[in-house]
Amino acid sequence: MREKIEHVEREISGIVLSTKQGAEAFRIQYLGSKGVLKSLYQEFKTIGAEEKKEIGQRLNELKQRVEQKLSEISWEETGNQEKNKIDLTRPGKSTPLGSLHPLTMVRNELIQIFSKIGFSVSEGPEIEDDWHNFSALNFPPDHPARDMQDTFFIESAVEGLSLRTHTSSVQVRVMENQKPPIRTISPGRVYRNEAISARAHCFFHQVEGLYIDKNVSFADLKQTLDYFAKSLFGETANIRLRPSYFPFTEPSAEVDVSCSLCQGTGCGVCKHTGWLEILGCGMVDPNVLDACGIDSTVYSGFAFGMGVERIAQLKYRVTDLRLYSENDVRFLNQFHF
């Protein structure tokens, strides 16, 4: 029986297994119910008592060798499988990166421009009461902007709540809680009850500015807006102010910037006028200052406001406002800078 055990040992040492099928056949051949070791253990029962200790020990060692070989084969095969799953020699795949939304880029640029001349950023709620959205800003009770055609009113236990129609409401909160000098801009989303088209939307974004201090004049406003236009559109940009009306400023003006495409000579974008409207502005009405607890006999100030979408249209030549909110990847991929 010693010769049989030695023969099996030599046979095992010469076997090389590289597949799962080969390992399974090896297990059945040597450890199966009809395998080689099973027959050796059957024969072990017939040998004499004087040889049982030695032969039994060798049989156990043989079984351990078979099991060890199987475990090594399984580990090597698993290692090969993992190695086949991850090929470290292959070049890596680049992950496509997104970009900021064009409105976010313009908003950030506007904030950066005004922060250089001392304007801080103020934010407020998008759901406002009548006082902050209308009354404190000198809107008469019968002003058209209070009508359902312009404002989204909210049914609530609190009367007069609505979605803010401008970020001027943030300026009211700043004036109520901060003493002059005040120099702040208020970026944010606003809502108007308007039909959605290429030129209008029921929500859009604004950046409004406010400066209040002693002896603030219209000349300070013009200088600030001229700095803004040159910072955004280039040193060749010029501005012009046209008289206008806003309830919360007096005097008020609309501001145009010279068309950067035709350099003011006239083209299709500026409707052959050489000018593009960008914002509204004016000196803060004394009634607004007094309503917010600021003495209008001591302090004066100016305010301005612009639509972020409007600035983005001029900057990126976007002709349809709806593109900003439709999340079309084809549109957004154009702004990878």
CATH number for position 262: 3.30.930.10
Strand partners, 244: 252
Q: Report the domain count for the chain.
A: 2
Its sign, for the CA torsion 221, 224, 229, 232, is negative
Which one of 85, 114, 130 terminates a domain?
85
287 in the same domain as 163: yes
Which one of 54, 85, 116 terminates a domain?
85
140 in the same domain as 234: yes
242 in the same domain as 158: yes
Does 176 map to a domain? yes
274 in the same domain as 232: yes
203 in the same domain as 73: no
49 in the same domain as 124: no
129 in the same domain as 6: no
Does 91 map to a domain? no
Which one of 24, 59, 85 terminates a domain?
85
79 in the same domain as 175: no
pLDDT tens string 32-78: 878 887 887 777 778 777 787 887 788 788 888 888 777 766 444 44
127 in the same domain as 47: no
Does 271 map to a domain? yes
113 in the same domain as 257: yes
Q: Specify the pLDDT at position 337.
A: 59
Q: How far apart are CA 133 and CA 291, in angstroms?
A: 13
Q: Specify the pLDDT at position 129.
A: 93
211 in the same domain as 166: yes
Q: Specify the pLDDT at position 78.
A: 47
pLDDT tens string 254-307: 999 988 777 777 777 677 888 988 999 999 999 999 999 999 999 999 999 999
Q: Specify the pLDDT at position 149.
A: 66
Does 67 map to a domain? yes
Does 60 map to a domain? yes
Does 277 map to a domain? yes
Does 329 map to a domain? yes
216 in the same domain as 145: yes
Tell me the mean pLDDT per 10 residues along the chain, length 337. 77 75 79 80 77 80 80 54 64 79 94 96 95 92 76 83 94 95 96 87 94 96 96 91 94 91 72 88 96 96 94 85 88 79
Domain that holds residue 167: 102-335
Does 288 map to a domain? yes
